[in-house]
Amino acid sequence: MPLFARIQELTGIRPYIGNVGADDTDGIDMAYRVIADHIRTLTFAIADGGVPSNEGRGYVLRRILRRGARYARHKFSVELGSFFAQLVDTVVEQMGHMFPEIAKNSDLVKEILCEEEVSFARTLDHGEKLLKQTVAKMPAGSQVIPGASVWRLYDTYGFPVDLTRIIAEESGLQVDEEEFNREQQRAKELSRQKKGGAAGTNMVALDVHAIAQLNEMGMAKTNDEPKYSLRSVKAQVLAIFTGKEFIAESNDEPVLGVLLDQTNFYAEQGGQEYDTGSLVSSDSEFTVENVQVYGGYILHSGFLKYGAIKVGDTVEAQYDVLRRLPIRNNHTATHILNFALRQVLQNNEIDQRGSLVAPDRLRFDFSCKDSIKPEQVREIEAVCNRIIADNLSVYAREVPLDEARQINGLRAVFGEVYPDPVRVVSIGADIDKILKAPQDKQWTNYSIEFCGGTHVAGTADIKEFVIVEETSIAKGIRRIIAVTGEEAMKAQLLHRSLEAEVKSLNSLQNPEPELKRLTKELDMAAIGVYEKHLLRQEFDQIRKAFADADKAAKAQAIKLATDQVKQTIEENPQQQWFVFRLDVPNKVVSQVTKIVKTMDKAAYFISLDNSRVNHQCVVGKSLVNRLPANEWAKAVGQIVGGKYGGKNDSAQGSGTEVSRIDEAISVAQEFAKSRLD
């Protein structure tokens, strides 16, 4: 096989001979098969839009790569870094003619694999070392690795649990799974507590057993067609779920799940967040906090506000309009953004890689190898706002899948499986007209996508669109976060406020405190990316001008102070000690002391700086036995307070007794006089 031949070429290991089980005594053939299988899986998955991460399908990909990497390291002695990337071309040569998308995205696949492999090499080295230390500490004869240690390896150091199990098995050991599960659960509970109980407490979920039970009961899947048009809908309660069992009537469980025959609530899917709201009857109200779909059944999770709810009740389902409207705005804005990206960047390789549509923001991940300049972000934002201002109508209807795929310029999520018929959403172009001439080039001038989400009727409902973040999240994958409507207006107001504050810096005599404050505020500010770019440029110019002026002022202060001290000492060559008051920054005084050190004299410098009395002294080598600097500083420090200390040739301190500065000068003089005169 070409893949086995390539593995041998890269590793120099013996050829594959097909041994399995007990016959594969050195495990080399197993390693061949594992690596070949894993690189095929990874190539297809990443080309299909998957990105290794710590959650969901991304975590599955990360585990696959790490398992294969460990085989490569331990069986083939491969130096991890680019091993898997060097196998991608062989996979493409074998299968690219049948699956052209892997050839199209091969460079991206290689980049992501290299990045992950390098990262895991560090984790593997550290994790294996820690695991060996853990095993070494086990009692003599013990064959069970403590579950708490295994969890800690994962939770603290990121060492995969499945790799720990494999290593344990290879060493004739096993993991204490019961203790591991306890530690994992304890960590989850602690995490929930830290989040104020929000994680997972507002919903119950239907597992495969519950879904099977519903199917056995002959319960029809939930009709959610009203979600596109009706603010409220009459519905019948078909089932109530506690998270463990179905019940006929609500009980004292803090969270319940309710199934209806039909609903106007949007269940979280396609990147769009769920609706919240209420199920109301004449004598009860059930607050809906979360809505999810499981195998066609839409479960409304929440709590009973008052009364009771039971199977067979008729309720009025009402979603929260104030939550739905901004979500709707952001979903349509996401489509507009997708269109604008291709228009501005002139790149047909841009494909959606993920999205989030929430009430307060939208997030759009997309494939793009090159960085995006702030000027391009401004242009993308401008295209979006032009479409919004034009108040284009938004059309949506279901279309047979094969027919919909013929539409020129259609956008769909790469690798997504769509139903038949599929819902098509078009901004500005009537779908009926599109279907009459689906191949017409004019449709590339409109946003047309497969989508099951909720949308505005006209783009003017969105009001404003502001891109507040544009960044890279992985090799070849970029992310845009944007806000619309009221949130966009807040961003614009914040920008104006920060702009005024930045401009006001020029009028301040000492802008340093404001510079520090505004540095943090600019970093955190949710304002337009381009506007932030311009503000940073202006801010950096002001900060540089201040830094240059401050540097020049300090240099001048050092020169003046140095000249003053040097002149005084030179005019009194027989005098061994001097006490100076220099009201300059402490850093300036530190520079002046260097001059005195070269003159074999004793000098004390006292200064008032930012409501503190700073003091420091230096004593020449010939004088330290009679006038130790640390004792001199102690005498002054007892007057001005605060901390003080040092050695016999130099010492310093800082106190708060500003009113006693003249007394401190006198004490410094008297102390030196008593020791040297």
pLDDT of residue 511: 79
Tens digits of per-residue pLDDT, 354-413?
A: 899 999 999 999 998 889 999 999 999 999 999 999 999 999 999 999 999 999 989 877
List, for residues 4-57, the tens digit of each pLDDT value. Answer: 999 999 999 899 988 888 888 888 999 999 999 999 999 998 887 677 776 677
Q: What is the pLDDT of residue 54?
A: 65
| Pairwise CA distance, residues 244 & 204, whole Å | 9
Spatial separation of the C-alpha atoms in residues 637 and 643, rounded to whole Å: 7
Burial classification of residue 111, based on how many CB atoms lie within 10 Å of its CB (0-12 exposed, 13-18 middle, 19 or more buried): middle
What number of other Cβ atoms are within 10 A of residue 189's Cβ?
A: 11
State pLDDT tens for residues 255-283.
999 999 999 999 999 899 999 998 988 77
Question: What's the CA gap between 28 and 77, in Å, rounded?
Answer: 11
In this prediction, residue 125 carries a pLDDT of 75
User: Hey, is 370 helix, strand or coil?
Assistant: coil
Query: Which one has a higher pLDDT value, 168 or 666?
Result: 666
Give the pLDDT of residue 198.
44
Place of tokens 């900060």: 543
DSSP state of 362: E
| Cα→Cα distances 394→102, 226, 455, 559, Å | 34, 18, 8, 71
Cis peptide before 359 (omega within 30 of 0): no
Instruction: Report the side by side order of strands in the sheet with 477-484.
Output: 352-357, 362-367, 477-484, 465-474
Residues 222 and 235: beta-carbon distance below 8 Å? no
Residue 501, pLDDT above cutoff 90: no
pLDDT higher than 80, residue 473: yes
Task: Please give the full DSSP string across 5-41, using - where no structure is assigned.
Answer: HHHHHHH-PPPP----GGG-TTSHHHHHHHHHHHHHH
Model pLDDT, residue 195: 43
Pair of tokens at residue 641: 């307070």
How far is residue 257's CA from residue 75's CA, in Å, rounded to a whole number? 50
Helical segments of 171-253, H only: 177-194, 208-216
CB-based contact 427:394 (threshold 8 Å):
yes
Query: Which amino acid, residue 205?
Result: A
Q: Give the pLDDT of residue 162.
A: 80
Give the torsion through C-alpha atoms of 210, 214, 215, 221, to 10 deg: -110
**Cα–Cα distance measured from residue 474 to residue 79, given in angstroms and rounded to the nearest whole number:** 23
Question: Which residues does 233 contact at the CB level (< 8 Å), separation at least 6?
Answer: 226, 262, 263, 264, 316, 317
Encode pLDDT of 581-638 as tens digits.
987 777 788 888 888 888 889 999 998 877 889 999 999 999 999 999 999 999 999 9
Model's pTM, two decimal places? Answer: 0.61
Residue with tokens 């539409």: 407
